């Protein structure tokens, strides 16, 4: 279908005649004013000269000259217009979920009016006061939707024609069935009865990025931002930016499985979820990074914000007949979008907000495990330390499979999308299940960080946000590279309060308890519960309700450590125990079973005098009706001698001893 630029009046005969009559009337009025230019007209409120009257009428005639008269009727009939000039006659903020700012406007072509919605990327015209009542705009990109028996125009791009700002032009009526008995509306249009009564209309074609898609085998391509529960027969072209793992559930109503994926196009992002059969049908088809056509029927519903971090009020649910096809042409579809927050600005971010962060990976902790309070299920976790060029570091936790398979090398740059901000111990971050991680991404921010870190960043000292448990806890002035001594841990009464306290200490092992160093754990993946030997060679796990021919031994150790200020007992679990002993718990128990007591004794002797940086938590515990502070090791790292030497040099430098007063000869 041939497209038209409508800038100087309508193209069809009926509206052309109307435009000519209106223009002629204004020209006649101008002539009458010219003849009586030396006179003035009295009003009840003052005196209005014929010159000002002439100027006002000239401006109105000029505005009508550029207005696309009759254009709304043309798009209503299915025509594709490259652009059109309309007048804004009403502006009203929309009530939206999650605090998202949206605006509803009413546009007029002097014959008809229509309700419109501004895309979020156009909010700037409201913030800067560009778009006001009476202003003319050139609509360059739009989408027409049929919503609640009304035609809605979603404006995706426009130019404000600031030289034109007039009162309402013409006497527009509601856009609808031309045979309907619709009376002209008054100057102030009411939002309650704005459109008159309309018959259901067919889905209207759209124009996106200046090109129609009616000839495409995929039909009309809709922007993600235009999707709503009232949109019908739509297709989006979007990139899969994230695909989650398959999750299962069991309850009294039955069992099932699901997965979720995020999709991105130029207008925004949306989350899609598939259940049961949809998992089998689409999980292997969808791959992160690829672009797909997704077509209705596909349910659009209000987003469950507790499961999604995307800025969208709606989400998709795959149905039985949902159509998904890989797009070979990926042009025009953006890659993953980031909105990075610097580590220094974390103190200004509210708790539970979702943000994107990029930083240099400075330290990687061992895989740990916690048990959910409500589900009693074990969850794998790993703690990372990120730094950036603002001089701050932060503790970041990854979970589940990402924690288990994490293999990014230290000093690499990692971009995280979808991090939850916590005030635990100050400021810390946690990667949500719907979040993503990209190691050494091909973006400008990554190259800048890498250049800074390789140049000077690796030798800098970093601050932690107040009370944050970072890779190495700051003592006193917030110096990232300082540890707490054992005496400081005791003097500061860490763990004596109601909350858990975190600290790091550099200490040397002086003794390892040799009794009860390990327990027989379940062999099921992710269980780790203690098993009981019911019969010789039969080990049973009550949780899994399974029996095994052998257990998987895991360390549970108590070690005594010391520094120059004192000594303390630390509780260690399997991953730390392997580092300390140098062998697995299975091998150690096998030596004991085989009667190799000499080798066992040697292994314990070799564990003594090893020095580590222990990352610990302190919490009050009750044992045999007595309260005591328990110090539990989260993970331990061997000494980094280059880093330790740098710390000692910095300590010496703080004394600021000049050559003349030097204590050294």
Whether the pLDDT of residue 63 is over 80: the answer is: no
Its CATH class, for the domain covering 213-326, is: mainly beta
pLDDT score for 310? 80
Retrieve residue 271's tokens: 């989350």
How many angstroms separate the CA atoms of 138 and 160, rounded?
6
Residue 593 neighbours by CB under 8 Å, 6+ apart? none
Q: Predicted confidence band at 624 (pLDDT cuts at 50, 70, 90)?
A: low
pLDDT score for 259? 92
Q: What percent of the chain has pLDDT over 90?
A: 19
Mean pLDDT across 375-389: 84
Q: Helices in 77-193 by DSSP H: which ranges?
A: 124-127
494-509 residue pLDDT tens: 888 878 888 889 999 9
Whether the pLDDT of residue 23 is over 50: the answer is: no
Whether the pLDDT of residue 239 is over 60: the answer is: yes
Q: What is the DSSP letter of 486?
A: H
pLDDT score for 519? 92
Retrieve residue 388's tokens: 């950036």
Mean pLDDT across 353-371: 87
Lowest mean pLDDT among 103-112, 290-299, 331-340: 331-340
How many angstroms separate the CA atoms of 222 and 527, rounded?
46
pLDDT score for 653? 76
Largest CA distance in the chain: 123
Q: What percent of the chain has pLDDT over 70?
A: 76
Q: CA nearest 417: which of 285, 293, 264? A: 264
Whether the pLDDT of residue 201 is over 70: the answer is: no
pLDDT score for 41? 36
Q: What is the DSSP letter of 50?
A: H
Which residue has better confidence, 603 or 31? 603
3-class secondary structure, 474: coil
Q: CA angle, 153 as apex, 151 and 157 as ends, to 5°?
A: 170
How many angstroms separate the CA atoms of 347 and 293, rounded?
41
pLDDT score for 587? 92
Whether the pLDDT of residue 278 is over 70: the answer is: yes
Which residue has better confidence, 355 or 170? 355
Residue 230 neighbours by CB under 8 Å, 6+ apart? 145, 146, 147, 148
Report which listed range, 18-32, 207-221, 485-499, is most confident. Answer: 485-499
Q: CA nearest 429: which of 342, 495, 303? A: 342
Q: Following DSSP, what letter does each residue of 305-360 receive, concatenated?
A: GGG--SS-SEEEEE-TT-EEEE-S--TT-------B--GGGGGGSPTT-EEEEEEE
pLDDT score for 412? 92
Q: What are the DSSP E strand ranges found in 388-444?
A: 392-399, 413-422, 428-439
Its CATH class, for the domain covering 486-646, is: mainly beta
Report which listed range, 189-193, 240-244, 350-354, 462-466, is most confident. Answer: 240-244
Q: Predicted confidence band at 118 (pLDDT cuts at 50, 70, 90)?
A: confident
3-class secondary structure, 9: coil
Query: In terms of DSSP bridges, do strands 235-243 and 211-212 run parallel, antiparallel, or are they unpaired?
Result: unpaired
Retrieve residue 46's tokens: 């003052």
How many angstroms separate the CA atoms of 485 and 414, rounded?
32
Q: CA nearest 125: which of 100, 150, 96, 162? A: 162
pLDDT score for 126? 87
Q: Predicted confidence band at 16 (pLDDT cuts at 50, 70, 90)?
A: very low
Q: CA nearest 559: which of 567, 551, 547? A: 567
How many angstroms separate the CA atoms of 353 and 339, rounded?
13
Retrieve residue 415's tokens: 């971009």
Question: In residues, how long is the chain?
Answer: 665
Whether the pLDDT of residue 435 is over 50: the answer is: yes
pLDDT score for 349? 85
User: Could you tell me which residues are beta bridge partners of residue 399?
Assistant: 381
pLDDT score for 509? 94
> What angle separates helix 597-607 from helix 585-593, to the nearest 10 degrees?
140
224: Cα separation from own chain's centroid:
16
Report which listed range, 90-104, 267-281, 414-428, is most confident. Answer: 267-281
Q: What are phi and psi of 154, to 5 degrees?
A: -95, 115
Distances (CA, A) of 100 to 31, 121, 313, 336, 592: 51, 12, 9, 21, 65
Q: What are phi and psi of 416, to 5 degrees?
A: -110, 135
32-44 residue pLDDT tens: 434 333 333 333 3
Decide if 134 contacts 88 (C-beta within 8 A): yes
Retrieve residue 136's tokens: 């003319």
Which residue has better confidence, 82 or 57? 82
Q: What is the pTM of this model?
A: 0.41
pLDDT score for 294? 92
Which residue has better confidence, 177 or 623? 623
Within this chain, domains 343-463 and 486-646 share the same CATH topology: yes
pLDDT score for 508? 95
Distances (CA, A) of 473 to 40, 359, 503, 636, 646: 83, 19, 6, 14, 16
pLDDT score for 176? 63
Q: Predicted confidence band at 26 (pLDDT cuts at 50, 70, 90)?
A: very low
User: Considering the domain 1-19+52-176+204-211, what is its CATH architecture?
Assistant: Beta Barrel (2.40)
Distances (CA, A) of 539 to 15, 208, 325, 532: 88, 65, 50, 5
How many angstroms separate the CA atoms of 259 and 275, rounded?
7
How many angstroms separate the CA atoms of 370 and 417, rounded?
24
Mean pLDDT across 59-69: 74
pLDDT score for 57? 55
Its CATH class, for the domain covering 343-463, is: mainly beta
Domain ranges for the chain, please list them: 1-19+52-176+204-211, 213-326, 343-463, 486-646
Whether the pLDDT of residue 196 is over 60: the answer is: no
How many angstroms separate the CA atoms of 510 and 358, rounded?
40
227-238 residue pLDDT tens: 888 877 889 999
Lowest mean pLDDT among 170-179, 243-252, 256-265, 329-338: 170-179
């Amino acid at each position: 279908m041939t497209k038209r630029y409508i800038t100087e009046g309508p193209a069809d005969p009926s509206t052309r005649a109307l435009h000519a009559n209106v223009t002629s009337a204004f020209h006649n009025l101008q002539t009458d004013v010219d003849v009586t230019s030396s006179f003035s007209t009295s009003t009840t409120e003052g005196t209005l000269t014929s010159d000002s009257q002439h100027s006002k009428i000239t401006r109105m005639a000029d505005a009508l000259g550029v207005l696309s008269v009759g254009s709304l009727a043309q798009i209503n009939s299915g025509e594709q217009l490259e652009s059109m000039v309309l007048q804004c006659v009403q502006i009203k903020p929309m009530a939206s979920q999650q605090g998202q700012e949206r605006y509803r406007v009413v546009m007029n072509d002097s014959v008809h009016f229509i309700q419109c919605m501004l895309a979020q990327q156009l909010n700037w015209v409201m913030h800067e006061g560009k778009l006001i009542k009476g202003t003319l705009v050139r609509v360059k990109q739009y989408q027409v939707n049929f919503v609640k028996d009304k035609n809605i125009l979603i404006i995706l791009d426009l130019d404000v024609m600031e030289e034109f700002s007039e009162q309402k032009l013409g006497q527009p009526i509601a856009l609808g069935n031309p045979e309907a008995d619709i009376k002209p509306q008054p100057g102030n249009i009411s939002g309650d009865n704005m459109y008159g009564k309309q018959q259901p209309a067919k889905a209207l074609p759209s124009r996106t990025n200046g090109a129609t898609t009616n000839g495409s085998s995929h039909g009309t391509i809709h922007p993600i931002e235009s999707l709503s529960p009232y949109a019908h027969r739509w297709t989006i072209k979007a990139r899969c930016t994230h695909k989650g793992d398959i999750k299962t559930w069991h309850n009294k109503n039955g069992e099932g499985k699901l997965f979720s994926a995020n999709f991105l196009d130029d207008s925004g992002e949306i989350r899609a979820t598939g259940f049961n059969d949809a998992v089998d049908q689409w999980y292997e088809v969808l791959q992160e990074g690829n672009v797909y056509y997704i077509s209705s029927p596909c349910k659009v519903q209000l987003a469950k914000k507790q499961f999604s971090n995307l800025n969208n009020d709606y989400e998709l649910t795959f149905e039985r007949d949902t159509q998904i096809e890989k797009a070979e042409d990926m042009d025009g579809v953006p890659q993953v979008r980031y909105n990075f927050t610097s580590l220094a600005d974390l103190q200004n971010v509210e708790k539970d907000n979702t943000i994107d962060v990029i930083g240099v990976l400075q330290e990687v902790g061992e895989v740990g495990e916690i048990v959910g309070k409500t589900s009693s299920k074990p969850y794998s976790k790993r703690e990372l330390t990120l730094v950036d060029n603002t001089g701050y570091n932060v503790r970041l936790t990854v979970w589940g499979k990402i924690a288990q398979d994490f293999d990014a090398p230290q000093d690499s740059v990692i971009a995280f999308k979808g991090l939850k901000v916590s005030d635990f111990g100050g400021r810390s971050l946690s990667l949500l299940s719907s979040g993503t991680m990209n190691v050494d991404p091909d973006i400008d921010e990554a190259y800048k960080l890498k250049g800074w870190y390789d140049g000077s960043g690796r030798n800098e000292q970093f601050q932690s946000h107040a009370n944050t448990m970072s890779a190495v806890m700051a003592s006193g002035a917030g110096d990232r590279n300082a540890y707490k001594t054992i005496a400081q841990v005791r003097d500061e009464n860490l763990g004596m309060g109601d909350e858990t306290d975190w600290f790091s200490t550099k200490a040397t092992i002086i003794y390892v308890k040799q009794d009860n160093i390990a327990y027989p754990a379940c062999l099921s993946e992710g269980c780790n519960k203690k098993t009981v030997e019911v019969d010789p060679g039969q080990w049973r796990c009550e949780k899994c309700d399974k029996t095994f021919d052998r257990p998987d031994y895991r360390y549970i150790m108590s070690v005594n450590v010391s520094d120059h200020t004192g000594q303390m007992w630390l509780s260690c679990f399997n991953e730390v125990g392997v580092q300390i002993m140098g062998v697995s718990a299975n091998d150690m128990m096998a030596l004991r079973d085989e009667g190799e007591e000499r080798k066992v004794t040697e292994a314990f002797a070799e564990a003594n005098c090893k020095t580590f940086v222990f990352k610990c938590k302190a919490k009050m515990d009750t044992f045999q009706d007595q309260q005591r502070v328990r110090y539990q090791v989260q993970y331990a790292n061997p000494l980094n001698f280059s880093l330790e030497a740098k710390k000692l040099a910095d300590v010496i430098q703080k004394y600021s001893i000049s050559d003349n007063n030097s204590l050294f000869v």
